[in-house]
Every structure is written in C-alpha cells, then in structure tokens.
Amino acid sequence: MTSAVAERSIVITRVFDAPRELVFDMWTDPAHIVSWFGPRGFTTTIHEIDVRPGGTWRLTMRGPDGRDYKNRIIYQEVVKPERLVYRNEPEPGSEPVEFETTVTFEEHGGKTMLTLHMLFPTAEVRDQNVEKYHSIEGGEQTLARLAEQLAMRREVTTTRMIDAPRDLVFKVWIDPEHLKNWWGPTGFTNPVCELDARPGGAMRIHMRAPNGVVYPMTGVVLEIAEPERLVFTSAALDKDGHAMFENLNTVTFAEQGARTKVTVHTKVMKATPEAAPHLAGMEEGWKLTLERLADYSSR
C-alpha cells in the first residue's frame, strides 16, 4: 500500500477460528448478518441484498440511542469465498459518507484471516469519518461480534486413543459412579453427577472448577448402542437456570485390538451471546476431558 493510499485507508485484520467458507457465508447471508453486523449496541435491518457484481445491499443500522443510519451498498466484486469489494453510496436520509470496502478471506489451517480495508476519497474524509463515526473502534467491535457468532456455530471433533478395552471404556462413560471421577477438564470435580443411560434418559452434572465456581449442565440421551455409540445433548446453564447453549454430542467407541479409539463430535445447536467465552474453549475442554478419561480407564 502506498503512503497516499494508506492515508485514505482504515485497515482492520482479525483471525477467526472457523473455516473460510463459513466466515464468507456469515458476511453474505442476511440471516447471519443481522446477528453481528455493526458496533456493539447496534441492530441491523436488511431491506434487500443481492450479492453479485452490480447488486445492491440496502440496510438500516440503529444505534443504542435509537438513531437510524441508512446504508446503500453496491457490490463491485464477489469471489466466493475469497474476496468482496463494495461501495457505500449515500441515499436520501443517509449520512453523506462514501467509501469503498474490500474484504479478503484467507485460509490458515482451518482458520480464517479476514482483512477489512475501507478506502475513502481523501485523507481528510477518512479522518473526519474516524472522528465523527468512530470507524476504527466500530470496525473492531463489529469483527468481535462476528467472532462471537462464529463461536456459536462451531463443530468440534476430538479423538483419543485409550489403553483399555472398548467394553470398559463404554461402561466408564455411562456409569455415573465412574463418570463423576473423570468428567470435565483438569482440576474439575463433579459434586452432582447423574445419568440415566437409556434413550430419553436425563443427564445432570454440576462441574466445580478449581476456583470453586460451579457450572451446572443438563442433557438428554438420544441414542445408545453399547458399546459402540452414544448420542446425547448437553446444555450449560446460567445462574438463573437458563440454557446458555445446547450441543449435540456424538461419541463413538472403535475397537483397536486391546485399545479403544474414542471420537467425540460436538455441534452447537443454539446459543446466547453470553455463551461465546464458554464455546471458545470447547475444543480444549474436550481434549482435557478425554485425557482424564484415558487416565481413569487405564488404571
């Protein structure tokens, strides 16, 4: 980027723990856009969106103070899932702001590096936009909201080889007297651990962290095929007993001689904004949990 272009630009970059195709869809599908587009406290209403060169995207962003900001965007370039170029043009009743936006989506080993580049007609217009509309802070908040929404749409697969026969590993999973001894990440205990291991059976676990904080969860067994497969839901509850998120978990137990290969596939089915920090650690949580399962089963 030349110095003249840099003076007219705002560039914000963020790496998302999600595949590029999903991040691109979140940026172009109106059903997803309304859940994250805009700074914190803003809501977005989409009036029309036609994601193709020459297509129009019209939306209204409402600020926390109730003020509406109308936007008219014309797509100039659409290369799925790599690149979007569009131009913000004023329309009646909107702010007199005009600039070009380029969004690039780069694949990085299952993650996505997104670069948002806003180019203004002059350096003065750029500076005015930053001062009046807080564009840099707003852009960073917008990408943070996108990251939170992506965390809520995660799917995680975790595998662990365990030095114990399959029948034993399966029993250790479905018997609450065993389950309470290994469930959860390192250092967690389970003062409440209930599991009715049959289709429709309920699960209730209170996980206590090393700092004493208790994280209650509930679930329902959907399918059980001993000793090969277990499917269940799990929901983490907030302090008022409401579900912050609900996951669908599929666990398979594959016999490998005298050992067992355990694979856990977890899909987030629904989540609230408060669930984002919990879901961000979901992959690491399952990894540590399966390590505890392996240690307990091989004793």
Return the CATH number of the domain spanning residue range 155-297. 3.30.530.20
Asked if pLDDT for residue 240 goes beyond 80, the answer is yes
What pLDDT, on a 0 to 100 scale, did the predictor assign at position 204? Answer: 98
pLDDT band of 92, cuts 50, 70, 90: confident
CA atoms 227, 231, 236, 240: torsion sign: negative
> Which has more confidence, 74 or 154?
74
H, E, C per residue of the chain: CCHHHHHCEEEEEEEECCCHHHHHHHHHCHHHHCCCCCCCCCEEEEEEECCCCCCEEEEEEECCCCCEEEEEEEEEEEECCCEEEEEEECCCCCCCCCEEEEEEEEEECCEEEEEEEEECCCHHHHHHHHHHHCHHHHHHHHHHHHHHHHHCCCEEEEEEEECCCHHHHHHHHHCHHHHCCCCCCCCCEEEEEEECCCCCCEEEEEEECCCCCEEEEEEEEEEEECCCEEEEEEEEECCCCCEEEEEEEEEEEEEECCEEEEEEEEEEEEECHHHHHHHHCHHHHHHHHHHHHHHHHCC
Asked if pLDDT for residue 1 goes beyond 80, the answer is no
Rounded to two decimals, the pTM is 0.66
The two structure tokens encoding residue 19? 């595949």
How high does pLDDT run on average in the chain? 94
pLDDT per residue over 37-52, tens digit each? 999 999 999 999 999 9
Return the CATH number of the domain spanning residue range 3-151. 3.30.530.20
> Which has more confidence, 277 or 189?
189
Asked if pLDDT for residue 265 goes beyond 80, the answer is yes
pLDDT band of 275, cuts 50, 70, 90: confident
What pLDDT, on a 0 to 100 scale, did the predictor assign at position 101? Answer: 98
Among 145, 203, 170, CA closest to 27: 145
pLDDT per residue over 175-184, tens digit each? 999 999 999 9
What pLDDT, on a 0 to 100 scale, did the predictor assign at position 90? Answer: 81
Tell me the average pLDDT across 204-211. 97
pLDDT per residue over 141-169, tens digit each? 999 999 988 877 778 899 999 999 999 99
Tell me the average pLDDT across 283-299. 96
Q: Are 191 and 197 in contact (CB under 8 A)?
A: no
Strand order in the sheet with 189-195: 155-162, 259-271, 243-256, 229-237, 214-225, 202-208, 189-195
What pLDDT, on a 0 to 100 scale, did the predictor assign at position 274? Answer: 81
Considering the chain, what percentage of its residues have pLDDT values greater than 90? Answer: 83
User: Cα separations (Å) of 297 from 32, 161, 270?
Assistant: 42, 11, 32
Asked if pLDDT for residue 7 goes beyond 90, the answer is yes
pLDDT band of 242, cuts 50, 70, 90: very high
Asked if pLDDT for residue 114 goes beyond 90, the answer is yes
User: Would you tell me the crossing angle of helices 135-151 and 123-133 to the nearest 10 degrees?
Assistant: 60
Asked if pLDDT for residue 62 goes beyond 80, the answer is yes
User: Would you tell me the crossing angle of helices 20-28 and 135-151 to the nearest 10 degrees?
Assistant: 120
What pLDDT, on a 0 to 100 scale, did the predictor assign at position 221? Answer: 98
Nearest-angstrom CA–CA distance, 148 and 162: 33
Asked if pLDDT for residue 33 goes beyond 80, the answer is yes
CATH 3.30.530.20 domain span(s) along the chain: 3-151, 155-297
What pLDDT, on a 0 to 100 scale, did the predictor assign at position 279? Answer: 85
Nearest-angstrom CA–CA distance, 36 and 29: 12
Give the burial class of 277: count Cβ atoms within 10 A of its Cβ; 0-12 exposed, 13-18 middle, 19 or more buried: exposed
The two structure tokens encoding residue 201? 């059976």
The two structure tokens encoding residue 67? 């003020």
The two structure tokens encoding residue 3? 């110095």
Asked if pLDDT for residue 281 goes beyond 80, the answer is yes
What pLDDT, on a 0 to 100 scale, did the predictor assign at position 3? Answer: 87
Amino acid identity at 191 = P
